Structure 1
Amino acid sequence: MTQKIVVLDPITAETARRMRALLPPGMVLDHALNRDAAHLREIVADADFLVSGQIAVDAALLAAAGRAKLLHKWGVGVDNFDLEAARAQGVTVARTTGSNALPVAEFTLGLMIGLLRNLAFGHHTLRGGEWRTTTLPKPSFMLTGKTVGIIGYGAIGQNVARLLAPFQCRILYNKTRPLSAEQEAEQGVRFASVAEILAQSDIVSLHCPMTPQTAGLINRAALQSMKRSAVLINVARGGVVVEADLVAALEAKEIMGAAMDVYEMEPTPAENPLLRFDNVVATPHIAAMAADNFDKTILQLFGNIERFAKGEGVAENDFVC
């Protein structure tokens, strides 16, 4: 019997074609055309498996998907899923652990350099017909030799540290369970508290999951504890940073700049005040998108779906609940 996978994110026809080329035998794929709640509830009615990247999956959407017994994250963070509702409905939740670690880590370095060297500002003003070499929004700095604080040291954070090695940076990290002394020496990093990272770092880079403990972690007090010459990078989750506090800190020049790929509300509205600053680099949650990482990620996702369909369960590392 044919089983249906429904992708809740609106994807392009080309993306759908590439996904269908990798489908397990006996499965078909459908996908959303927009983010409208009524449309999403309609397309999941006959779904056997649900896949979502950025679309929120709440109790109402799960209830509309009465046949589905597996909800799979296209990515890692499951803060956009109602896990309690999934448990109550008997829906297994899984994710593609580690699938986007290297693309996001590379993107993080791009944001660091783009922000430190005013790349986005230079591009934007040059396209507007201005040659702005003496009126940059902030001084340009090299990445080499800087102190980088990594808050959240899972697969992404560790890849960031590895990619920073040629830049001779001093790297501080924070995670729930610190590495051993031998692991720290091997990776060239040192454990520090969040307070120490904020106070000492030239670059604070966020890679922690969204949890009750990390929600609003970077508030006005945290920003005021950073160096005035420091910058903030957020490729974790929007809710880790209190956006109104970041706006206030930028207006008061309490930090030198910020770069973010994630927001409290997504899609973030055009009137988000963070988008008006020349010392801010903003991208629309695209850090994990890399065409040459696509097949690897989808095969991991489809592999879990195929195993689940056979009654074998998803890979242990990818199981959420």
Structure 2
Amino acid sequence: MPETIVLLDMTSPERADRLRALLPPGFVLTHGTARGDEHMKQIIAEADYAISGQVGVSADVLQAAKKLKLLHKWGVGYDNIDVAAAKELGITVARTTGSNAVPVAEFALGLTLSALRFIAYGHAELKQGHWATGKLPGDTFMLSGKTVGIVGFGAIGQSLAKLLKGFGCTILYSKRQPLDAAMEAALGAWHAPLPEILAQADVVSLHCPLTPETTNLIDAAALRAMKKTAVLVNVARGGVVNEADLVAGLKAKEIAGAAMDVFSVEPLPADSELLTLDNLVVTPHLAAMAADNFAPTVKRMFDNMARVSRGEPVPERDLVV
């Protein structure tokens, strides 16, 4: 009998076919067709393996799984998975550590340039027939030669530092355990406490996990500590930024602008005040999506499932619990 993998997220038939083309022998794939826990409980019930892309997986959903061996995060951050419940139920949780580092770093760079130069605003205005060069929401700034603060300096933050080298940026980073001097020199990045980064950086780019320590890390006080000409970029998790404080700060021009690919509630509600601001770039959690990174990441997930099927452990680098 084939073993069943369920993608808990909704997906298109075309994307599902791309996934099926990469399946190892002996596996079949199903996927979500509606949103919400009740639907996920139905489709996970008889699955041997499950994949979570952007959907959260609660204890209630996990308890509905009758024979689940492995829950695999498609990506890195697993803050929206009830890991404690999975452990209690004997369900292994894994992720694809580092797999999306370059795509997310490139996207962060793109958001940075868009926020500094009002690229998204100009695009939206021109699509409406408005030639807006004389009516931008604020001053535009180059990235070259600026100071960039990277908050969270794992694989993604370090990939961004490498990209920024070509812009001649001064790079400050915040990390619980600083890198050694040789690695800092190789990356051209220097450790600094968060208050120093907020005070000095022209761009503050967030790449930290969402934890109790980082929840609302960027709040009203943090925004006031930044330069008025600075921009904030968030490709980490929505909860790292207090969104109400960000709306107020952008309206008051406490910082020049911001760009966000992640939000506290996803999908972002259509009536969100974040959608009303001209000095904010918003994208719908796209940073990790890159067609040329699809197959390597999916094959790695499927390989981990095949390992479990053979009675082998998940590689240490991908194991969560």
Q: Above 0.5 in TM-score?
A: yes
Which residue of the partner structure matches residue 64 of structure 1? Answer: 64
Equivalent runs, 1:219-234 vs 2, <5 Å:
219-234=219-234
Separation in 1 of the partners of 2:69 and 2:58?
15
Separation in 1 of the partners of 2:117 and 2:89?
50
Kindly provide the CA deviation profile for residues 97-154 of structure 1, in whole angstroms up to 9, marking residues without a partner as x: 1111000000011001111111111111111111111111111111101100000000
Separation in 2 of the partners of 1:118 and 1:195?
27
Which residue of the partner structure matches residue 30 of structure 1? Answer: 30
SS at match of 1:306: helix
Q: Which amino acid aligns with 1:58?
A: S
Separation in 2 of the partners of 1:59 and 1:184?
41
Equivalent runs, 1:131-150 vs 2, <5 Å:
131-150=131-150
Q: Which amino acid aligns with 1:316?
A: E
Separation in 2 of the partners of 1:232 and 1:36?
31
Q: Which runs of 4+ in 1 moved over 3 A?
A: none
Q: Give the superposition deviation at 1:251.
A: 1.4
Kindly provide the CA deviation profile for residues 169-196 of structure 1, in whole angstroms up to 9, marking residues without a partner as x: 0000011110111111111010000111
Q: Which amino acid aligns with 2:98?
A: G
Equivalent runs, 1:197-276 vs 2, <5 Å:
197-276=197-276
Separation in 1 of the partners of 2:155 and 2:133?
38
Q: Where does the alignment leave 5 or more consecutive residues of structure 1 unmatched?
A: none
Separation in 2 of the partners of 1:9 and 1:212?
26
Q: Give the superposition deviation at 1:238.
A: 0.2
Q: Which amino acid aligns with 1:250?
A: L
Which residue of the partner structure matches residue 301 of structure 1? Answer: 301
Which sits farther off after the overlay, 37-46 or 86-95? 37-46
Q: Give the superposition deviation at 1:41.
A: 1.1
Q: Which amino acid aligns with 1:228?
A: K
Separation in 1 of the partners of 2:300 and 2:98?
10
Separation in 1 of the partners of 2:120 and 2:92?
42
Q: Give the superposition deviation at 1:66.
A: 1.6
Q: Give the superposition deviation at 1:36.
A: 2.7
2:196 counterpart of 1:184 = no
Q: Which amino acid aligns with 2:93?
A: V
Paired positions, count: 321
Separation in 1 of the partners of 2:67 and 2:224?
50
Separation in 2 of the partners of 1:14 and 1:98?
26
Q: Give the superposition deviation at 1:69.
A: 1.6
Q: Which amino acid aligns with 2:172?
A: L
Q: Which amino acid aligns with 1:235?
A: V
Q: Give the superposition deviation at 1:68.
A: 0.2
SS at match of 1:211: coil
Q: Which amino acid aligns with 1:26?
A: G
Which residue of the partner structure matches residue 10 of structure 2? Answer: 10
Kindly provide the CA deviation profile for residues 258-287 of structure 1, in whole angstroms up to 9, marking residues without a partner as x: 000000101110111111111110000010
Q: Give the superposition deviation at 1:317.
A: 0.0
2:319 counterpart of 1:319 = yes
Kindly provide the CA deviation profile for residues 73-118 of structure 1, in whole angstroms up to 9, marking residues without a partner as x: 0000000100111011011100011111000000011001111111
2:79 counterpart of 1:79 = yes
Q: Which amino acid aligns with 2:235?
A: V
Separation in 2 of the partners of 1:213 and 1:240?
9
Identity %: 58
Q: Which amino acid aligns with 1:157?
A: G
SS at match of 1:254: coil
Separation in 2 of the partners of 1:214 and 1:316?
25
Separation in 2 of the partners of 1:129 and 1:22?
44
Separation in 2 of the partners of 1:12 and 1:315?
30
Separation in 2 of the partners of 1:83 and 1:40?
17
Which residue of the partner structure matches residue 109 of structure 2? Answer: 109
Separation in 2 of the partners of 1:117 and 1:220?
24
Q: Give the superposition deviation at 1:37.
A: 2.2
Separation in 2 of the partners of 1:257 and 1:14?
37
What's the TM-score, normalizing by structure 1?
A: 0.99
Q: Which amino acid aligns with 2:144?
A: T
Equivalent runs, 1:269-288 vs 2, <5 Å:
269-288=269-288
What's the TM-score, normalizing by structure 2?
A: 0.99
Separation in 2 of the partners of 1:295 and 1:310?
22
